[in-house]
Amino acid sequence: MAELTAEEAKWVKQVNALLKKCPSKRIGFYTIGDDCVGLYDTDYQDEIDAADVDLVPALNKTGHGFSEDIYFPNAVQGVCG
């Protein structure tokens, strides 16, 4: 497995610590494989799911996506695990 440098590992630890400080449990996250992670309101998950389309079109249809994104220095690959 690849190894991070000490400086990279420190940065990852800082990012994770900051994410844990999120003041809300309602923010959902998604990516389409570019350099940003989109945000949406999970308080409306049932309505979003009922739109019966993929997530991004559902957010456009319901209006429950936030206009802010989290930007990364490189692409965030959208994969299924």
Q: How far apart are CA 62 and CA 59, in angstroms?
A: 5
40 CB neighbour count, 10 Å cutoff: 21
pLDDT at 49: 96
Report how far residue 71's alpha carbon sits from residue 81's, in angstroms, rounded to the nearest whole number.
22
Please choose, from the candidates 81, 12, 69, the residue with its C-alpha nearest in 3D space to the C-alpha of residue 37.
Answer: 69
Look at the pTM and tell me if it is higher than 0.75. yes
**Which pLDDT score, from 0 to 100, does residue 80 have?**
80
- List the alpha helices (DSSP H) in the chain: 6-20, 45-50, 55-62
Per-residue pLDDT of the chain (81 residues; tens, 9 = 90+): 999 999 999 999 999 999 999 999 999 999 998 999 999 999 999 999 999 899 999 999 999 999 999 999 999 998 887
Q: Give residue limits of the domains in the chain.
A: 24-81
